[in-house]
Amino acid sequence: MNKNATDVANVIARHKADILKEWIQRQKESASSLSGIMSSEDALEQSSQFLDLFSAALNEDPSAENDTVWGEVRTMLESVSRSRALQGFSPSETATFVFSLKQPLFQRLRQESKSADTLADAVWAMTTLLDSLGLYTAEVFLRSREQVILQQQQELLDLSTPVVELYRGVLALPLIGTLDSERTHSVMENLLEGIVHHEAAIAIIDITGVPTVDTLVAQHLIKTIAAARLMGAECIISGIRPQIAQTIVHLGVDLGDVTTKASLAEALKLALAKVGRGIAPLKTGTGLS
């Protein structure tokens, strides 16, 4: 087995240029639709680097289990797979990077080997090895895709729950989009952190951007308001559209003693009154409003 591996490594070393050329040709064929995305210089560089690392690792240990020896190959594959995942390659195209090495490699092995037995042994050993490496690239590919998705999810969540200070002690929480339990949780956390941070006494929850309010959403809103109240802040709900007011009443949702206002402007006026402030026209104003 070990001798086989060294033989293969020797074959690779002798025919490196040929193998590389054919391999890249194969890669291009398999990923023809995306050939524009990746330059052939990049492909050449990655392929040649992989061949070098691969044959070096083969000389050391052919079983592909030794982490110290194969770690470098795996790291290299990881970076290739990750960059391809971000560039928009499909998983099979990424895995083909490794699998397409088989054909040129086996061809050289056939030319070089003396008996059918040694050839079969070498081919079998290389197949298992390359298969495991190919699967590894697919795995890394999926993992990096998942990372991207998770990151986007987090960004979306952060983006959708801003807490803004309208005046000293008055916070506004403009909600956009559907409220589900996970979002409610992050909304609640953000609001409570905001109350502590700004030492707010009043929070206005504006639901103009919430498309529908069903019993569940109302339940979530009530929970948020109850939590804010426990922290000593009063909540005002604003931006209830007529249709939503109708649904709330039809569903029989009890908003309790929560203050509701039709518009954010009305809510702000009430909030300011509650903190002992008000809005008055300036004498020097143009009087346009």
Contact, 169 vs 200, CB < 8 A?
yes
Among the residue ranges 53-61, 116-124, 137-145, 229-237, the one whose residues contact another protein (CB under 8 A): 229-237
Report in angstroms how near the CB of residue 247 gets to another protein at its nearest. 24
Q: Is 34 in the site for another protein (CB under 8 A)?
A: no
DSSP label of 177? S
- C-beta of 95 vs 228, nearer to another protein: 228
- C-beta of 175 vs 233, nearer to another protein: 233
Q: Is 231 in the site for another protein (CB under 8 A)?
A: yes
* Dihedral Cα 181, 186, 188, 189, nearest 10 deg: 140
Q: Is 180 in the site for another protein (CB under 8 A)?
A: no
- C-beta of 223 vs 277, nearer to another protein: 223
Q: Is 218 in the site for another protein (CB under 8 A)?
A: no
Q: Is 271 in the site for another protein (CB under 8 A)?
A: no
Among the residue ranges 88-96, 110-118, 152-160, 224-232, the one whose residues contact another protein (CB under 8 A): 224-232
Report in angstroms how near the CB of residue 184 gets to another protein at its nearest. 10
Report in angstroms how near the CB of residue 214 gets to another protein at its nearest. 19
Q: CA–CA distance from 187 to each of 6, 8, 71, 159, 214 (Å)?
A: 61, 60, 43, 11, 17
Residue with tokens 């929560």: 258
Pull the structure tokens for residue 32: 């023809």
Within positions 192 to 211, which residues make up the interface with another protein, using CB under 8 A? Answer: 192-193, 195-196, 199-201
d(CA 208, CA 231): 25
Among the residue ranges 30-38, 142-150, 186-194, 258-266, the one whose residues contact another protein (CB under 8 A): 186-194
Which long-range contacts does 91-95 make (Cβ < 8 Å, 24+ apart)? 91/138, 91/141, 91/142, 93/30, 93/31, 93/34, 94/137, 94/138, 94/141, 95/134, 95/135, 95/137, 95/138, 95/141
For the residues of 84-123, what is the DSSP string, one character each? HHHHT--HHHHHHHHHTTHHHHHHHHHHH-SSHHHHHHHH
d(CA 138, CA 80): 11
Tell me which of 164, 226, 245, 279 binds another protein, using CB under 8 A.
226
Report in angstroms how near the CB of residue 200 gets to another protein at its nearest. 8
DSSP label of 262? S
Tell me which of 17, 116, 159, 230 binds another protein, using CB under 8 A.
230
> Which helix (H) or strand (E) segment is 147 a member of?
helix 116-159
Q: Is 273 in the site for another protein (CB under 8 A)?
A: no
- C-beta of 108 vs 198, nearer to another protein: 198
Q: Is 37 in the site for another protein (CB under 8 A)?
A: no
- C-beta of 37 vs 273, nearer to another protein: 273
SS (H, E, C) 42-76: HHHHHHHHHHHHHHHHHHHCCCCCCHHHHHHHHHH
Q: Is 223 in the site for another protein (CB under 8 A)?
A: yes
Residues that bind another protein (CB under 8 A): 185, 188-189, 192-193, 195-196, 199-201, 223, 226-233
